[in-house]
Amino acid sequence: MNKLKDFIEKKMSMSHIYQPVMIKVLLENGGTADKKTIAQNILSYDFSQVEYYEGITNNMVGRVLRKNEVVSRYKNIYDLKLFKDLSSSEIQELIDLCDQKIEEYINQRGTKIWEHRRRNRKAIPGSTRYKVLKRADGRCELCGISKEEKALEVDHIIPKNNGGEDSIDNYQALCFSCNANKRDTDDTDFRNLNVKYQTRLSDCIFCNISRNIIAENELSIAFYDKFPVTSKHVLVIPKRHCNDYFELSQPEINAMNRLTHELKTKLSKEDTSITGYNIGFNTGSDAGQTVFHCHMHLIPRRKGDVENPIGGVRNLIPGKGDYKPKLH
Ligand code: 5GP
Ligand code: ZN
């Protein structure tokens, strides 16, 4: 007793509720429990899962059963109509009938009836999951809620069975609710996606860049600008032809962002005179865009390269860089 008590009180270092739940299950079950029983007990604490089934209860099954006048509902309470007229043997008979129906259904359809809940889990390796959660900073990338408040899932942005890649750029961290919501409402037509990512224009200079590529990943490439603003001025572009920033897909944004980080590390390492960067997209000819294949400028800056660097990209309107903040 003392050893266990000492462990629970002092030694048990908790990163989640798992350890005390498991010990409690074992205590409650005569000292022995199988993996499934332990898992089911952990599950009973996971309100994000319970919340999902509360949604199903209210919006699907509860609605159907109410419509058929089998149940009635008052706030969060459901009542089985006619329950008070049932004898205990009738109740048992009906329970057995429900069991029979559940069993029949599972036998007919197999475990695929739960496939929508585990669709991506199986396929995503733990190390990738970790990287995605780290990149998301432990928050849902749709609603921003933290992983402490709601369990986060790693999800394919473009579903795998629609040609979505297993590349890190095609993953996002979503909280349980956003992910369930996405599954239920997402009607994006992904069918031609692979074809879309192959889009190249024969008369576009950036679609046909093949020389001097300095970095590359699945969906983006980077090369030195032919008319550099400063030494080692780089352009990062999506491989697919699209006109500007606003036409990028999320996986392309992820890919370009990742490449930009790699380039920053590379450039800063090989040229220690670089002390800053300007990063930007020109979008539309009125904003100065001259090549209509989306590209991001990564412009290394060096101390003293201009007399007064204040304002950086604000200087694209001459004279507007060095602003004077209004105090009143
Ligand atoms: P924009 O003005 O459209 O934002 O930028 C186009 C950029 O592409 C310019 O900085 C220009 O120097 C660069 N550029 C134009 N033609 C070529 C080319 O053939 N090769 C490379 N590497 N850069 C180019
Ligand atoms: Zn192009």
What pLDDT does 83 receive? Answer: 92
Alpha-carbon torsion angle 216, 219, 222, 225, nearest 10: 160
Instruction: Report yes or no: 22 and 38 within 8 Å, Cβ to Cβ.
Output: yes
User: What are the pLDDT digits (tens) for 211-256?
Assistant: 889 999 888 999 999 999 999 999 999 999 999 999 998 889 989 9
Query: Which tokens go with 304?
Result: 């003293």
Mean pLDDT of the chain: 88
Higher pLDDT, 188 or 102: 102
Backbone angles phi, psi at 290, to 5 degrees: -115, -25
Distance of alpha carbon 240 from alpha carbon 251, whole angstroms: 12
Whether the pLDDT of residue 107 is over 60: the answer is yes
Distance of alpha carbon 147 from alpha carbon 139, whole angstroms: 6
Report residue 19's pLDDT band, with 50, 70 and 90 as the boundaries: very high
Instruction: Report yes or no: 282 and 225 within 8 Å, Cβ to Cβ.
Output: no
Give Cα 84 distance to the centre of its chain. 48
Single pTM value for the model = 0.60
Whether the pLDDT of residue 140 is over 70: the answer is yes
Phi-psi group of 161: left, alpha or beta (phi > 0 → left; psi -120 to 50 → alpha; rest → beta): alpha
Backbone angles phi, psi at 17, to 5 degrees: -85, 0
For residue 227, the CA-to-ligand 2 centroid distance in Å is 18
Residues with CB under 5 A from ligand 2 (ion): 201, 204, 206-207, 241, 293
Average pLDDT over residues 85-100: 93
Query: Which tokens go with 207?
Result: 């679609």
Average pLDDT over residues 310-314: 94
Look at the alpha carbons of 20, 23, 28, 29 in this order and tell me if their dihedral is positive or negative. Answer: positive
Distance of alpha carbon 119 from alpha carbon 122, whole angstroms: 7
CA atoms within 13 A on the CB side of 124: 27
Best mean pLDDT range from 62-76, 87-101, 153-167, 223-237: 223-237
Query: Which tokens go with 227?
Result: 């008319």
User: What are the pLDDT digits (tens) for 177-205?
Assistant: 888 777 666 666 665 666 677 889 999 99
Where along the chain do its domains lie?
2-45, 126-182, 196-306
What pLDDT does 125 receive? Answer: 79
What pLDDT does 116 receive? Answer: 62
Residue with tokens 């990512």: 197
Query: Which tokens go with 200?
Result: 């190249």
What pLDDT does 2 receive? Answer: 86
Which position among 156, 241, 293, 295 bears the catalytic label? 295
% of the chain surpassing 90 pLDDT: 51
Q: Which ligand 1 atom is the nearest neighbour of the CA of 227? A: 12
Q: Whose CA is nearest to atom 15 of ligand 1?
A: 226
Superfamily of domain 196-306: HIT-like (3.30.428.10)
Whether the pLDDT of residue 302 is over 70: the answer is yes
Higher pLDDT, 326 or 46: 46
What pLDDT does 193 receive? Answer: 62
Average pLDDT over residues 10-28: 90
Higher pLDDT, 186 or 30: 30
User: What are the pLDDT digits (tens) for 167-177?
Assistant: 888 888 988 78
Whether the pLDDT of residue 311 is over 90: the answer is yes
What pLDDT does 268 receive? Answer: 97
Look at the alpha carbons of 158, 160, 164, 169 in this order and tell me if their dihedral is positive or negative. Answer: positive
Distance of alpha carbon 172 from alpha carbon 174, whole angstroms: 6
Name the 3-class secondary structure at 285: helix
Q: Does 293 qualify as catalytic in the annotation?
A: no
Whether the pLDDT of residue 12 is over 70: the answer is yes
Distance of alpha carbon 137 from alpha carbon 131, whole angstroms: 10
Higher pLDDT, 288 or 185: 288
Higher pLDDT, 231 or 102: 231
With a 6 Å cutoff on the Cβ, whether 289 touches ligand 1 is yes
Neighbours of 25 (CB within 10 A): 18
With a 6 Å cutoff on the Cβ, whether 87 touches ligand 1 is no
Close Cβ partners of 43 (under 8 Å, ≥ 6 residues apart): 49
With a 6 Å cutoff on the Cβ, whether 284 touches ligand 1 is no
Phi-psi group of 235: left, alpha or beta (phi > 0 → left; psi -120 to 50 → alpha; rest → beta): beta
What pLDDT does 118 receive? Answer: 60
Backbone angles phi, psi at 51, to 5 degrees: -60, -40
